[in-house]
Amino acid sequence: MRLANGKTGDMIFRNKYLFILFSLVCLAGLVKQWIEHNKSVDNYDLPKELTGQKEIVDVRRVKRNCECAEWIRVSPKKDSGMIPEKDYFYIESADGNDPPPAYTALADSGYVLRLKGSFYKGEGIPANYVQQSEPKPERARVFYYTSSQVVKPE
Q: Which CA distances in Å does 61 have to 20, 44, 45, 114?
A: 52, 25, 22, 12
Q: Within this chain, do residues 57 and 92 fall inside the same structural domain, yes or no? A: yes
pTM of the model: 0.68
Burial 74-83 (b: 16+ CB within 10 A, else e): eeeeeeeeeb
Q: Within this chain, do residues 28 and 103 fall inside the same structural domain, yes or no? A: no
Q: Within this chain, do residues 58 and 134 fall inside the same structural domain, yes or no? A: yes
Q: Within this chain, do residues 124 and 53 fall inside the same structural domain, yes or no? A: yes
Q: What is the pLDDT of residues 12-43, one digit of tens each?
A: 666 888 888 888 888 888 888 776 766 666 66
Rounded mean pLDDT of the chain? 80
Q: Within this chain, do residues 59 and 122 fall inside the same structural domain, yes or no? A: yes
Instruction: Please give the residue range of the domain that contains residue 1.
Output: 1-37
Q: How many domains does the chain contain in total?
A: 2
pLDDT computed for residue 141 by the predictor: 92
Q: Within this chain, do residues 97 and 133 fall inside the same structural domain, yes or no? A: yes
Q: Within this chain, do residues 30 and 102 fall inside the same structural domain, yes or no? A: no
Q: To the nearest 10°, report the CA torsion of 119, 136, 44, 147.
A: 30
Q: Within this chain, do residues 33 and 55 fall inside the same structural domain, yes or no? A: no
Q: Within this chain, do residues 1 and 66 fall inside the same structural domain, yes or no? A: no
Using only the alpha carbons of the chain, give its radius of gyration: 25
**CA-based nearest residue to 90, from 114, 72, 111, 63:** 72
